[in-house]
Amino acid sequence: MDRRRLLKFGLALAAGAPLALSGTGRVLASVAGSDGQVFSARWLREHARILAAQPYRAPQSPLPPSLQSLNWDQYQAIRYRPEQALWRERDSAFQLQFFHLGLYFQEPVHFYEVVNGRAHALPYRNENFDYGDNDAFDDLPDSLGYAGFRVHFHQDFSRDIAAFLGASYFRAVGESRQYGLSARGLAINTGLPQPEEFPRFTTFWLERPGAGDLSLTVHALLDSPSVTGAYRFVIHPGANLNMDVEATLYPRRELTRFGLAPLTSMYQTGENDRRMANDWRPEIHDSDGLAIWTGDGERIWRPLTNPEQVTVSHFIDNQPRGFGLLQRDRDFSNYQDDGVFYELRPSLWVTPRGNWGEGAVMLVEIPTLDETFDNIVAFWNPKESWRPGEAYPIGYRLTWGETMPDQNPELGAVVATRTGIGGVIGQPRTYFSRRFAVDFTGGSLSMMDRHAGVEAVVSASRGKVELVSARPLHAINGFRAMFDLIPDDDTSPIDLRLYLRIGSQALTETWLYQYAPPPPEARSL
């Protein structure tokens, strides 16, 4: 895991309310009291339910001083020994390695291996790590625990394909084998003035895969002041890595602003938002847009931005078919970064399972100065609050990779959004306007020329739209739609909507955008 990835994990944890380990001792008492305690997903749900009825308890024992004082270089020097990987000596397609505690990761996580329905503790072992030039850590007990773990697959055991590290964060890769955005178990109070709460996976149960098994099952206990939860992940490696997630959540207090299947990413600058374009690289982002497939079948694309202030957008829906944070721009020349390769970052798509009901896909965009901060969060927020004393099951599939299951070959997709000063080139500008140019490709657009009657359908929540056009763009084998927006004197955001059609037939997904106009005195021509 590179420096920027690890730094972003740590900054995300430091930004929220204090994170605490709660209930782990009770898990140890119930499982580790005898070697090979019976374990099942049902047992874990019951344990989470009982825990939710008890007051939240923060951890009582800090890390040993030798770990609390580690700096960046000292922590980076600690390496898990590949020869100590879990299941290395077995006929298994999977191997697991563990992350050490220290630096940003101060809260221990405990692990069990599940074999034939029985859980066996996996205590911390000093000899599993190479500590580099660090002094010996002889004061570390077997009860210490780990910070997290990573998954290796038999296609290339030297590189990991998934990692669970910090709070309830985890990430995975597709065929590019490049990490990017993260997922979380649950989000609470994201985008509110009050501190965000970060629930934690405090304990994991790892089912030992059998010979020939090409999927890995992981169970996790989630805990926080507001909620507990029992999670089950089934990981399917491939060109697109899929994770089937089943969870049952038990609130300790009423939940209103909370997010299911939360996705966390980074957007600093791109072709549509140049506010922080102060770097030699043209674009810097892990994801460039939010895609939504609504319950009634509409496909939506919302380009991401790096706003001047926290922006929260609600996309109201009923029974959503899916949503995701995608990296559609796959052209190296648009990034010019030969160190972290943003064009290879995976997209991440959420496919709901079961009844998700009414609610909203929420998008939170937070100002960021540089790429070390994850400033984009997307999640599903149910319409109804969740109440203490109730159990709330939820299921979904996460797809990590480059080709997402939301794609409809019959519809054109947005591939670029650009903005700039409006008006007609060569003619004096007598009023302020903003130009928007949106490129579409795919579907049947390549079959149509300028005489086909393709038109751009544009609407704005305020202001006046003018100079609307849609014409073929042979460089992308698609169409470019353009229009100008003349904002009124109000400086609150304006919602924009655009798609292409021929007659009554929609040819493309729907482009949505939120534009915050400058104050009238700043609208220089």
Spell out the alpha helix ranges (H) of 53-100.
65-68, 72-76
191: left (phi over 0), alpha (psi -120 to 50) or beta: left
| The pair of three-digit structure tokens given for residue 303, joined into one six-digit string | 């380009």
Q: What is the pLDDT of residue 140?
A: 84
The three-point CA angle 151-153-149 to 5° equals 10
Whole-prediction pTM value?
0.92
Instruction: Write the DSSP assignment of 263-325 as a string of letters.
Output: EEE-EEEBTTB-TT--SSSS-EES--EEEEE-TTS-EEEEE----SS-EEEEEEEES--EEEE
Q: What is the pLDDT of residue 143?
A: 86
Q: What is the pLDDT of residue 1?
A: 52
Q: Closest Cα to residue 223, out of 206, 195, 202?
A: 202
d(CA 335, CA 340): 10
d(CA 93, CA 76): 28
Q: Closest Cα to residue 231, out of 202, 257, 254, 255?
A: 202
> Tokens 């989000």 label which residue?
187
Q: Closest Cα to residue 224, out of 274, 167, 141, 264?
A: 167
Instruction: Catalogue all structural domains in the chain, each as residue range(s) with its CATH number.
Output: 34-401 (2.70.98.10), 413-522 (2.60.40.10)
| The pair of three-digit structure tokens given for residue 155, joined into one six-digit string | 């296609």
Q: Are 320 and 356 in contact, with CB atoms under 8 Å apart?
A: yes
3-state secondary structure 211-241: CCCCCEEEEEEEECCCEEEEEEEEEECCCCE
Residues 6 or more apart whose CB falls under 8 angstroms from that of 72 comprise 3, 103
Q: Is 147 helix (H, G, I), strand (E, B) or coil?
A: coil
DSSP one-letter code for 515: E
Q: Is 166 helix (H, G, I), strand (E, B) or coil?
A: coil
d(CA 487, CA 517): 7
Residue 164: other Cβ atoms inside 10 A: 24
> Tokens 């947005």 label which residue?
414
- Run of H or E including 418: strand 413-421
d(CA 522, CA 288): 28
The three-point CA angle 39-43-45 to 5° equals 135
- State CA 478 to chain mean position distance: 30
401: left (phi over 0), alpha (psi -120 to 50) or beta: left
Compute and round to an integer the Cα radius of gyration of the chain: 25
| The pair of three-digit structure tokens given for residue 481, joined into one six-digit string | 């739609």
Q: What is the pLDDT of residue 29?
A: 41
Q: What is the pLDDT of residue 17?
A: 31
Q: What is the pLDDT of residue 468?
A: 98
The three-point CA angle 41-47-52 to 5° equals 130
In the chain, the amino acid numbered 20 is A
Q: CA dist 516 to 66, 113, 158, 433, 492, Å?
A: 49, 52, 47, 12, 6
Low-confidence stretches of the chain (pLDDT < 50) are 11-33
d(CA 312, CA 290): 13
Q: Are 142 and 32 in contact, with CB atoms under 8 Å apart?
A: no
Entry field: residues in the chain: 525
d(CA 135, CA 29): 33
Bridge partners (DSSP) of residue 418 are: 437
Q: Closest Cα to residue 377, out of 5, 12, 78, 3?
A: 12
Q: Closest Cα to residue 18, out of 198, 256, 280, 165?
A: 198
Q: Are 481 and 437 in contact, with CB atoms under 8 Å apart?
A: yes
**Dihedral over Cα of 250, 315, 357, 297: its sign:** negative
